[in-house]
């Protein structure tokens, strides 16, 4: 039928027209599809895509807020932010980075650590961002580079604010320091708040008040291209600077206290007993916090960490010492209040005490013995035998009770992180921790502040405050008030904690008089610090670090330094109207009362001017 | 549509003006539409000029060359082409083989041939040679074509497609296969065969999947779900949709497209140029371009319907349908309707030799239309 030589032109033309018609329909459908899609994208989804386009285009560049400053109670600046220069390399503008670093090394020495750091940072940053090579240049070095900068395209000096602690080790344990945010902290912090900040409070007030000090970053709204390069700045949103802190610490007293310590290891905590405001906070030796801001070298850090003097150790918060004889006024108060003794009750002290049917002698510090001793004399002369005797009548429970009332075995709640709570000895404690029953002999040594009892210097200061206040306990604190950038003042009001179960006024009077006679009395253990200008009330203590055998004699010169006794003093002045209460611990040393005297003198002379 | 697009050059009275166009063998309506579209394209491209100052100059030179070639092609009567068809096809095949042996690679495909004085892609030549050959083959047969003839046609289509797929250049393969298939369709391939072929294609799809290159599979996968890989291969589609969508009704204004100027939109002056139009000129600008395309396609169909012999009809029809296919594939891709295939937007996208081939194709259409023996 088919004949290639006989074509039906009309039929073929008709067939073609039909096919074109079908194709035309398909084309129209497709065009409608495209128009529909355009309508969907550009009209219906316009808002969505418009937003996405803006998100693409506008990048928020965080601007670092200034960290809040820290002042003492008189307005002396203790922590500041100073501009620091850093040497930065912009990778995309440098042809050969290692050659550039070598050339720079000839002008400004660059350590291997710095290079290592730099190459690490290099991986994290974008090609057009400056990568710090050397930080904290002094002005001389910065100037030295500037003169030669024409030789180094793509290398620049940049200035940023850096935390600076002008008093170095003087406030190191109370104020603490900031350091670079580490990987672990990175997972815990809110990254938007720290987007422009490389530092975070690591210890001390810098850590506790981090949320107050850090502020909120501002933002530059920058138009950026796909690689993040800034094309232009659209808008600036200023950062909210951190709040300033005004401490309760008294800068002159802190310095005088350090001078008074004469370089001895130990602690001084002085506070205003009426408000709980800490005036002096010393854990000696301290360290230079600036080292941690700049990025402390591994060796320096190890040296500090391993030093036998333990300068990084916050003794005030975490040092746990036997309170020794400083507990005696408190124990006597309890014995009087509970009626175990009367003010007139006396014992005869031969220089030691023996429990019935026990051979072992509990020795008094004064070998000849104090003779006939009542409660007043027992405190003034710090008679151990008297407290052995009455504690044996009391048993351990009332002693545990009063220690607990004075805050032993629990943290004071000061505005710092990491406070330890010491050891509150007692039957429960021993069962829970040593799984042993309580022995009567342990009651005796607990009554003179030895044995299991451990307290932090902060707890001792708290006890001192409570003796001054007749039992009123106010939470110690370091920050007096917070000042916002707008000048608004947020006061850190004193927190009055639960008071003791009431004690009779006459018992308080007796105890306060006795502590006063510790200094003022003719036979007081601290009579050498007696002062004509104002009355001091206090109690000395000597904490044994090393237990002597039954027949051995303590001789400080024969013992290694770290086994020698600690010297303690708690007290307040003026005795009639306490303005300052303190606790002093000198490790393996003597003279805590002498330090106290100088501190009292310095403070009272100044506030009474 | 006939009245709108047929009136000016084919009516009852031949005016002096019409005779003039007839003599220089150009179709004024088609020419006008092409120049309007190309001009719109240049306006959009100029927005990308900031990133590459030489871009406009090179594109203008390319357009000039292409228009010149179109005029030359239009001067040659269609019967001469039909004589040359087998030769043209043969030479194109040889060049495609040569490309696989001695060609050089650009953008991952070995598709260029360096003839010393000029570099070109033989696949571009095949874009014209293949539909011409298939149209020539069927013009010698009685239509509608038989099953056996259709098979022969398919083999003739498959050979160059295979060679181009080897380069590998999926986009061009698709376009050339489509141009051949359009001839088959216009030659009256029976519906049942078409249906059968579609079913067979669906069945063969899994096998084809295994033959595809990794990047080609990736493109299909990201087309199906662009959000699955927003930073990788889905990125282009997402950014392109953002560009078009954020244009809204009126667009962000010429030169103000942030997606393209801040380089979020990749390939902004080549395959994704339509997104720049959508972003800067909005729905109105996009519609204007679609209307220009529609007019050109309608004019092309009109010319093919009024061609006087089977070869001309099939060739003209195939060329214009292929052009239309280009438009759909590209714009559909840019708007996220089709997978990303490396197909430029015809007559708009910067670069390549496609604009030369396309305008040469329109030259053939004009030749068909202006070398008719007028009765009357």
Q: How much is the pLDDT for A335? A: 95
Chain B residues touching A6 at Cβ < 8 A: 142
The string of pLDDT tens digits covering residues B119-167 is 778 888 999 999 999 999 998 888 788 888 888 999 999 999 999 988 8
Verify whether the Cβ–Cβ distance B258 to A53 is below 8 Å: yes
**A57, closest residue in chain B (CA to CA):** B258
Q: How much is the pLDDT for A150? A: 83
Q: How much is the pLDDT for A229? A: 75
Does A234 contact chain B (CB < 8 Å)? no
Output the CA torsion sign for B150, B152, B156, B158: positive
Helix (H) or strand (E) segment spanning residue A154: none
Does A50 contact chain B (CB < 8 Å)? yes
Q: How much is the pLDDT for B8? A: 47
- Strands A58-63 and A230-237, how do they pair? unpaired
What is the band of B3 on the pLDDT scale with cuts at 50, 70, 90? very low
**B251, closest residue in chain A (CA to CA):** A42
- Interface-testing mutation among A23, A45, A225, A229, with chain B (most B C-beta atoms within 10 A): A23
Contact status, residue B266 vs residue B341, Cβ threshold 8 Å? no
Interface of B with A in 75-134 (CB under 8 A): none
Q: How much is the pLDDT for B2? A: 45
Rounded Cα distance between A560 and B182, Å, is 105
The answer to whether residue A584 scores a pLDDT higher than 90 is yes
**Burial (CB count <10 Å: 0-12, 13-18, 19+), residue B97:** middle
Rounded Cα distance between A401 and A331, Å, is 10
What is the band of A46 on the pLDDT scale with cuts at 50, 70, 90? very high
The answer to whether residue B12 scores a pLDDT higher than 70 is no
**A47, closest residue in chain B (CA to CA):** B246
Does B264 contact chain A (CB < 8 Å)? yes
Q: How much is the pLDDT for B9? A: 47
Does A143 contact chain B (CB < 8 Å)? no
Contact status, residue A317 vs residue A420, Cβ threshold 8 Å? yes
**Listed residue (A519, A491, A503, A494) closest to A467, CA to CA:** A503
Q: How much is the pLDDT for A222? A: 82
For residue B245, the distance in angstroms to the closest alpha carbon of chain A comes to 4
Verify whether the Cβ–Cβ distance B242 to A49 is below 8 Å: yes
Contact status, residue B42 vs residue B289, Cβ threshold 8 Å? no
For residue A230, the distance in angstroms to the closest alpha carbon of chain B comes to 10
Whether ipTM > 0.85 holds is yes
> How far is the CA of B94 from the CAs of A88, A494, B14, B125, B154, in angstroms?
59, 97, 45, 11, 19
Rounded Cα distance between A149 and A158, Å, is 13
Verify whether the Cβ–Cβ distance A19 to B185 is below 8 Å: yes
Does A43 contact chain B (CB < 8 Å)? yes
**B242, closest residue in chain A (CA to CA):** A49
Does A232 contact chain B (CB < 8 Å)? no
Nearest by CB to B245, from A13, A34, A49: name it.
A49
What proportion of chain A, given as a percentage, has pLDDT over 90? 60
Please give the distance of CA A248 from its chain centroid, rounded to a whole number: 15
A–B CB contacts, 8 A cutoff, strictly below = 135
Which of A191-195, A379-383, B22-26, B138-142 is predicted least confidently? A191-195
As a three-state string, the secondary structure of A355-412 is CCCCCCEEECCCCCCCEEECHHHHHHCCCHHHHHHHHHHHCHHHHHHHHHHCCCCCCC
For residue B65, the distance in angstroms to the closest alpha carbon of chain A comes to 30
- Average model confidence (pLDDT) for chain B? 85
Q: How much is the pLDDT for B231? A: 59
Chain A residues touching B244 at Cβ < 8 A: 38, 41-42, 49
The string of pLDDT tens digits covering residues A9-42 is 788 888 899 999 999 999 999 999 999 999 999 9
Range among A362-366, A554-558, B3-7, B205-209 rated most confident: A362-366
Contact status, residue A541 vs residue A323, Cβ threshold 8 Å? yes
Nearest by CB to A42, from B188, B282, B304: name it.
B282
Which of A327-331, B11-15, B140-144 is predicted least confidently? B11-15
Does A37 contact chain B (CB < 8 Å)? yes
- Interface-testing mutation among B142, B230, B372, with chain A (most A C-beta atoms within 10 A): B142
Rounded Cα distance between B114 and B103, Å, is 7
The string of pLDDT tens digits covering residues B285-304 is 999 999 999 999 999 999 99
**CA A402-A403-A406 angle, 5° bins:** 90
What is the band of B262 on the pLDDT scale with cuts at 50, 70, 90? confident
Does B143 contact chain A (CB < 8 Å)? yes
Q: How much is the pLDDT for A121? A: 75
The answer to whether residue B4 scores a pLDDT higher than 80 is no
Rounded Cα distance between B2 and A589, Å, is 114
Does B241 contact chain A (CB < 8 Å)? yes
**A230, closest residue in chain B (CA to CA):** B262
For residue B287, the distance in angstroms to the closest alpha carbon of chain A comes to 7
The answer to whether residue B14 scores a pLDDT higher than 70 is no
Verify whether the Cβ–Cβ distance A23 to B317 is below 8 Å: yes
* Average pLDDT, integer, range A166-178: 94
The answer to whether residue A1 scores a pLDDT higher than 50 is no
- Interface-testing mutation among A19, A33, A224, A225, with chain B (most B C-beta atoms within 10 A): A19
Nearest by CB to B337, from A37, A52, A226: name it.
A37
**A228, closest residue in chain B (CA to CA):** B262
> How far is the CA of A572 from the CAs of A317, A542, B193, B354, in angstroms?
21, 18, 110, 97
Q: How much is the pLDDT for A398? A: 95
Interface of B with A in 174-233 (CB under 8 A): 185-186, 188
The answer to whether residue A551 scores a pLDDT higher than 70 is no
Contact status, residue B38 vs residue B66, Cβ threshold 8 Å? no
Verify whether the Cβ–Cβ distance B241 to A41 is below 8 Å: yes
- Interface-testing mutation among B135, B246, B365, with chain A (most A C-beta atoms within 10 A): B246
**B137, closest residue in chain A (CA to CA):** A4
The string of pLDDT tens digits covering residues A247-299 is 999 999 999 999 999 999 999 999 999 999 999 999 999 999 999 987 777 88
- Average model confidence (pLDDT) for chain A? 89
Nearest by CB to A42, from B263, B278, B336: name it.
B278
* Average pLDDT, integer, range A507-535: 92
Which of A244-258, A423-437, B79-93, B199-213 is predicted least confidently? B199-213
What is the band of B319 on the pLDDT scale with cuts at 50, 70, 90? very high
What proportion of chain A, given as a percentage, has pLDDT over 70? 95
Interface of A with B in 12-31 (CB under 8 A): 12-13, 15-17, 19-20, 23-24, 27, 30-31
pTM, rounded to two decimals: 0.68
Chain B residues touching A8 at Cβ < 8 A: 142
Q: How much is the pLDDT for B1? A: 44
Nearest by CB to B142, from A4, A19, A48: name it.
A4
The answer to whether residue B208 scores a pLDDT higher than 70 is yes
Does A113 contact chain B (CB < 8 Å)? no
Q: How much is the pLDDT for A212? A: 94
Rounded Cα distance between A162 and A294, Å, is 9
**B313, closest residue in chain A (CA to CA):** A16
Total residues belonging to chain A: 609
What proportion of chain B, given as a percentage, has pLDDT over 70? 89
Nearest by CB to B186, from A3, A9, A16: name it.
A16
* Average pLDDT, integer, range A353-369: 88
The string of pLDDT tens digits covering residues B324-341 is 999 999 999 999 888 777
Range among A96-110, A544-558, B36-50, B62-76 rated most confident: B62-76
Contact status, residue B367 vs residue B302, Cβ threshold 8 Å? no
The answer to whether residue B13 scores a pLDDT higher than 60 is no
Q: Give the bridge partners for A474, in sequence order.
A: A496
The answer to whether residue B10 scores a pLDDT higher than 80 is no
What is the band of B116 on the pLDDT scale with cuts at 50, 70, 90? low
Verify whether the Cβ–Cβ distance A52 to B282 is below 8 Å: no
- Catalytic residue selected from A86, A257, A283, A325: A325
Q: Is A567 a catalytic residue?
A: no
Nearest by CB to A52, from B142, B242, B313: name it.
B242
Nearest by CB to B305, from A17, A38, A50: name it.
A17
Q: What is the DSSP letter of A547?
A: P
Nearest by CB to B290, from A17, A35, A57: name it.
A35
Chain A residues touching B324 at Cβ < 8 A: 27, 30
For residue B94, the distance in angstroms to the closest alpha carbon of chain A comes to 30
**CA within 13 Å, CB half, B352:** 23
Rounded Cα distance between A98 and A26, Å, is 64
Verify whether the Cβ–Cβ distance A6 to B278 is below 8 Å: no
Beginning with the edge strand found earlier in the chain, give each strand of the sheet holding A58-63 in spatial order: A58-63, A218-224, A230-237
* Average pLDDT, integer, range A53-63: 82
């Amino acid at each position: 039928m088919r004949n290639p030589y006989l074509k039906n032109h009309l039929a073929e033309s008709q067939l073609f027209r039909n096919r074109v018609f079908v194709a035309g329909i398909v084309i129209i459908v497709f065009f409608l599809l495209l128009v529909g899609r355009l309508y969907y994208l550009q009209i219906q989804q316009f808002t969505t895509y418009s937003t996405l386009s803006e998100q693409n285009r506008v990048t928020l560049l965080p601007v670092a807020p200034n960290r809040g400053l820290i002042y003492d109670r008189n307005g002396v600046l203790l922590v500041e932010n100073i501009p620091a220069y850093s040497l930065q390399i912009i990778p995309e503008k440098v042809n050969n980075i290692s050659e550039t670093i070598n050339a720079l090394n000839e002008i400004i020495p660059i350590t291997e650590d710095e290079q290592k750091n730099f190459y690490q940072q290099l991986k994290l940053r974008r090609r057009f961002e400056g990568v710090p090579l050397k930080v904290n240049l002094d002005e001389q070095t910065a100037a030295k580079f500037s003169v030669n900068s024409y030789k180094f395209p793509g290398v620049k000096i940049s200035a940023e604010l850096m935390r600076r602690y002008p008093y170095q080790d003087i406030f190191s344990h109370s104020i603490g320091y900031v350091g670079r945010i580490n990987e672990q902290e990175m997972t815990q912090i809110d990254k938007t708040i720290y987007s422009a900040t490389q530092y975070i409070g690591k210890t001390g007030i810098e850590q506790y008040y981090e949320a107050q000090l850090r502020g909120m970053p501002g933002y530059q709204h920058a138009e950026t291209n796909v690689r993040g390069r800034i094309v232009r700045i659209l808008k600036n949103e200023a950062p909210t600077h951190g709040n300033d802190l005004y401490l309760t610490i008294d800068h002159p007293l802190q310095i005088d206290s350090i001078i008074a310590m004469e370089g001895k290891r130990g602690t001084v905590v002085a506070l205003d007993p009426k408000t709980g405001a800490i005036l002096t906070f010393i854990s000696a030796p301290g360290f230079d916090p600036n080292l941690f801001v700049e990025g402390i070298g591994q060796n320096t850090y190890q040296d500090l960490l391993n030093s036998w003097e333990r300068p990084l150790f916050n003794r005030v918060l975490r040092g746990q010492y036997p309170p020794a004889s400083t507990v005696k006024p408190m124990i006597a108060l309890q014995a009087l209040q509970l009626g175990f003794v009367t003010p007139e009750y006396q014992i005869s002290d031969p220089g030691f005490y023996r429990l019935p049917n026990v051979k072992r002698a509990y020795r008094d510090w004064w070998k000849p013995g104090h003779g006939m001793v009542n409660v007043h004399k027992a405190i003034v002369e710090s008679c151990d035998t008297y407290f052995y005797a009455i504690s044996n009548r009391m048993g351990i429970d009332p002693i545990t009770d009063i220690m607990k009332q004075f805050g032993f075995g629990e943290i004071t709640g000061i505005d710092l992180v990491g406070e330890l709570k010491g050891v509150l000895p007692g039957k429960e404690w021993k069962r829970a921790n040593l799984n042993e029953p309580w022995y009567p002999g342990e009651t005796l040594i607990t009554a003179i502040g030895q044995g299991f009892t451990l307290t932090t210097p902060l707890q001792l200061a708290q006890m001192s405050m409570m003796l001054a206040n007749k039992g009123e306990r106010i939470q110690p604190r370091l920050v007096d008030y917070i000042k916002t950038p707008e000048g608004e003042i947020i006061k850190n009001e004193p927190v009055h904690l639960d008071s003791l179960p009431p004690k009779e006024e006459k018992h308080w009077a007796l105890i306060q008089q006795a502590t006063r006679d510790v200094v003022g009395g003719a036979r007081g253990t601290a009579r050498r610090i007696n002062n004509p200008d104002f009355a001091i009330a206090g109690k000395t203590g000597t904490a044994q670090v090393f237990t002597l055998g039954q027949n051995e004699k303590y001789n400080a010169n024969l013992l290694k330094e770290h086994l020698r006794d600690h010297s303690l003093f708690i007290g307040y002045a003026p005795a009639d109207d306490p303005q300052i209460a303190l606790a002093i611990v000198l490790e393996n040393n003597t003279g805590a009362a002498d330090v106290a005297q100088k501190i009292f003198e310095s403070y009272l002379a100044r506030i009474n001017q | 549509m006939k009245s709108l697009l047929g009136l000016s050059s084919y009516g009852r009275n031949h005016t002096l003006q019409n005779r003039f166009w007839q003599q220089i063998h150009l179709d004024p309506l088609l020419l006008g539409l092409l120049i309007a579209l190309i001009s719109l394209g240049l306006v959009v491209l100029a927005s990308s000029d900031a990133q590459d100052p030489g871009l406009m100059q090179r594109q203008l030179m390319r357009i000039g060359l292409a228009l010149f070639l179109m005029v030359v092609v239009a001067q040659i009567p269609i019967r001469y082409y039909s004589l040359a068809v087998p030769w043209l096809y043969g030479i194109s095949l040889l060049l495609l083989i040569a490309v696989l042996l001695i060609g050089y690679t650009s953008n991952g495909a070995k598709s260029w041939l360096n003839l010393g004085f000029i570099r070109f892609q033989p696949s571009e030549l095949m874009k014209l040679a293949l539909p011409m050959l298939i149209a020539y083959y069927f013009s010698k047969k009685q239509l509608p074509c038989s099953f056996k003839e259709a098979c022969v046609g398919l083999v003739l289509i498959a050979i160059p497609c295979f060679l181009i797929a080897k380069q590998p250049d999926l986009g061009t393969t698709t376009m050339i296969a489509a141009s051949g298939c359009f001839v088959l369709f216009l030659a009256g391939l029976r519906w049942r065969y078409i249906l059968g072929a579609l079913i067979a294609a669906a069945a063969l799809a899994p096998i084809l999947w295994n033959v595809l290159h990794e990047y080609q599979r990736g493109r299909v996968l990201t087309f199906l779900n662009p959000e699955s890989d927003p930073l990788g291969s889905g990125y282009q589609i997402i950014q392109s949709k953002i560009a078009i969508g954020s244009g809204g009704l009126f667009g962000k204004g010429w030169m103000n497209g942030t997606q393209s100027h801040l380089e979020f939109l990749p390939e902004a002056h080549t395959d994704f140029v339509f997104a720049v139009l959508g972003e800067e000129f909005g729905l109105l600008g996009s519609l204007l371009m679609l209307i220009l395309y529609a007019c050109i396609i309608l004019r092309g169909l009109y010319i093919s319907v009024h061609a006087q012999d089977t070869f001309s009809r099939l060739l003209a029809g195939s060329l214009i349908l292929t052009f239309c296919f280009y438009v759909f594939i590209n714009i559909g891709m840019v708007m996220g309707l089709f997978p990303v295939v490396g197909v430029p937007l015809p007559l708009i996208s910067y670069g390549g030799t496609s604009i030369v081939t396309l305008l040469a194709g329109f030259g053939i259409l004009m030749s068909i239309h202006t070398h008719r023996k007028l009765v009357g």
